[in-house]
Structure 1
């Protein structure tokens, strides 16, 4: 299995398929690069080089005691992009992966980056504070911590219901998707997964978002039960200068899976520089 060794010696697994302009995918918690397989096959078939990695302590990457924090995640991603000598990259991040992409740019800039796509992403801040009243209370994330620690096998299985909107009336539930989520989650290390909860919930990515100076597409479902759109996608679209926002009406958190064909078409259009149907350019706070 291809891996890149990071500065602290951790080995990060990655997939690297196809040829052409590179698209680098960052997955959500507690998943792996496999969550992007449908997008990788689709975009690879459209003439792009597609790359996805397992975040440290997730999937097939090393399970580390230290370094399960967003600074290190971003540096691991930089190590991968440096090792593969990637340029003109389209960075795509879902959920926690959106934080990883955003923080990568905050720490390493956009010299290698052509475009950014944030999907159901956690920035700017999921935690409810006086300055961020639309966020979720700390208790909500403590429940995730406890569920993961006490019985993550059961917790991950239950999490699939709100994650993919399968708890909504009329939802078409895929037991295969639920089992895939569970399997990917159980491949990771408990310590790293617990550490990661703080990184997707309590880290403020506002300043990182302000450093994004390349074309950016923000996709978010307005029925996202995991990362509510009000404190995430809508806010990020106001911070990133020139961002394009598309809201999936009734969309859940797992858009790349539950809305696979629609999402793939939107991703392809944006990467090609074509209009994304239903998307609107936003006026950032800085431009206002």
Structure 2
């Protein structure tokens, strides 16, 4: 187990697999999960000759559970400290869901001097919340319901949310009890306060200005049946902002497509990285 301490004294857990001399791929996970969700990708890409790195976001997984600073700006700064601590260069940044927001805000705050490419997978940018300027977003009541479910009975809510997360409520879906239980396990490792704070971070953060600073080859990959981060207000808007972004849509795919479409996703990401 490897950890680092941030400038504010928070211990961040991370995994670092493969050759230390290889090009690094840094994976940022979604809410309320941990670095473990990326294990298949980390093993696959390390086997392809890359160095693969993933961390547990503060207040998630095995990282410290902190009362304050569970914000998107701080998530991005933690990612920057990890990249600088490991002295990574020419890194490929891959972010899923909230992790896509983390990666985008990292670019907005720290630039792309250490970055070669970016992949945003089922990602929350540019803005999830419905506002006058963002009529395609989701109403605040949707996020209030997530807060209430998490606070009232986090254990049951994390089990229940796997159904739309993986599209298990769709006709013909192959339901995996293992995926549901693994989601629950990772979610329950985190701290309640930080996870509640993170709901605001992923739903109310506006990434328009951050996206405009993305000047590296960018893959925007999304399922068109994503029930957690609907494609219309996310990926389809992101590609209007990021110059020359590559949009890849998985027809009928769910939010957890890195797992439900694992082999296809790994192959497509590898092709993008090697282009």
- 3-state SS, counterpart of residue 171 of structure 1: coil
Provide the residue aligned with 1:138 in structure 2: 140
Provide the residue aligned with 2:272 in structure 1: 270
Return the match for 2:65 from 60, 63, 71. 63
Work out the CA distance in 2 between the residues paired with 1:4 and 1:82.
Answer: 11
- 3-state SS, counterpart of residue 146 of structure 1: helix
Work out the CA distance in 2 between the residues paired with 1:33 and 1:161.
Answer: 21
- Describe the superposition over 1:127-182 as per-residue Cα deviations: whole angstroms up to 9, x where unpaired: 01111111000000000000000000000000000000011111000000000000
- Describe the superposition over 1:37-71 as per-residue Cα deviations: whole angstroms up to 9, x where unpaired: 11111101000000000000000000000110011
Work out the CA distance in 2 between the residues paired with 1:177 and 1:63.
Answer: 25
Work out the CA distance in 2 between the residues paired with 1:27 and 1:217.
Answer: 16
1:183 deviates by 0.2
RMSD (Å) for aligned C-alpha atoms: 0.4
- 3-state SS, counterpart of residue 45 of structure 2: helix
Matched, 1:157 2:159: yes
Provide the residue aligned with 1:7 in structure 2: 7
Work out the CA distance in 2 between the residues paired with 1:163 and 1:215.
Answer: 28
- Structure 2 stretches of 5 or more lacking a match? none
Work out the CA distance in 2 between the residues paired with 1:43 and 1:67.
Answer: 32
Return the match for 1:126 from 108, 118, 128. 128
**Residues paired across the two proteins, number:** 273
Provide the residue aligned with 1:279 in structure 2: none
- Structure 1 stretches of 5 or more lacking a match? 274-288
Q: Give TM-score scaled by structure 2 length.
A: 0.99
- 3-state SS, counterpart of residue 170 of structure 1: coil
Moved over 2 A (4+): none
Q: Give TM-score scaled by structure 1 length.
A: 0.94
Return the match for 1:206 from 205, 208, 233. 208
Provide the residue aligned with 1:18 in structure 2: 18
